[in-house]
């Protein structure tokens, strides 16, 4: 079964636009779980323009499914993760001013840096995932770094889906096979939607988890949060 982890960053973005606590991020996390989400994902950034570090601390006790914290492994981020001890940490190579994640790790060039951090999280019994593209070198080095999983950066699939779904998904099938053969668990995320999720899952049914935020929260504005979560889960059935 492929799990659906709901990224609630966009709810925090809306809250921060006016200050105060509306919409309530903690309530959103609780409701996502009640409505069927298999996990909650947050991605705190240094400028705290959406999820704040304090949000992460407050959300953790409320999680009854799985908690995934994404982010660039700065000293502040590493400290936060070690305090919170989520089920999973997903390391992404975002610069501090990135609007959203837009590339995977070069795990060859960053091998020493990532190995040290992954080791630290593994020693704390935190499952570690590395955000990567479909380049076999990056996947193979993720295994050498001793990451537990990779998260495939799926924006190229999403952007090519309407032009040729078969061509768009093929590199991801190959990448997922390489990862599976290397003993890595496989997650996926970025621009997955109701339009393209089912086809992706049908071609790579052994994906363990998808993390979806922007499209899901946007759909919820029209369809309702509970209905939207259930619609996404049906794409993974």
Long-range contacts of 54-58 (CB under 8 A, 24+ apart): 55/12, 55/25, 55/26, 56/80, 56/84, 57/83, 57/84, 58/26
pLDDT, tens digit (0-9, with 9 covering 90-100), for 100-145:
566 799 999 999 999 999 999 999 999 999 999 999 999 999 999 9
- Structure pTM? 0.94
Catalytic residues: 43, 70, 190
Which overall architecture, per CATH, does domain 3-235 show?
Answer: Alpha-Beta Barrel (3.20)
For residue 93, which of 116, 117, 110 has the smallest C-alpha distance?
A: 110
pLDDT, tens digit (0-9, with 9 covering 90-100), for 173-220:
999 999 999 999 999 999 999 999 999 999 999 999 999 999 999 999
For residue 59, which of 71, 41, 73, 37 has the smallest C-alpha distance?
A: 41
Domain boundaries, the chain: 3-235
pLDDT, tens digit (0-9, with 9 covering 90-100), for 142-172:
999 999 999 999 999 999 999 999 999 999 9
């Amino acid at each position: 079964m492929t799990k659906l982890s709901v990224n609630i960053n966009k709810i925090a973005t809306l809250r921060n636009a006016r200050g105060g606590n509306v919409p309530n991020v903690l309530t959103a996390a609780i409701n996502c779980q009640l409505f069927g989400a298999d996990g909650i994902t947050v991605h705190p950034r240094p400028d705290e323009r959406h999820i704040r570090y304090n949000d992460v601390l407050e959300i953790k006790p409320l999680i009854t499914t799985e908690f995934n914290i994404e982010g660039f492994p700065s000293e502040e981020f590493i400290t936060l993760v070690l305090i919170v001890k989520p089920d999973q940490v997903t390391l992404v190579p975002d610069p501090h001013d990135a609007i959203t994640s837009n590339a995977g790790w070069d795990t060859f060039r960053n091998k020493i840096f990532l190995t040290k951090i992954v080791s630290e999280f593994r020693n704390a019994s935190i499952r570690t995932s590395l955000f990567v593209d479909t380049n076999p070198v990056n996947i193979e080095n993720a295994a050498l770094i001793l990451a537990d999983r990779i998260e495939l950066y799926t924006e190229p699939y999403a952007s090519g889906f309407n032009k040729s779904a078969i061509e768009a998904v093929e590199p991801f099938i190959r990448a997922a096979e390489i990862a599976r053969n290397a003993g890595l668990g496989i997650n996926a995320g970025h621009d997955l939607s109701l339009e393209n999720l089912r086809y992706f899952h049908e071609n790579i049914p052994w994906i363990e988890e998808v993390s979806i935020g922007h499209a899901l929260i946007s759909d919820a504005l029209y369809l309702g949060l509970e209905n939207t979560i259930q619609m996404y889960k049906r794409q993974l059935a």
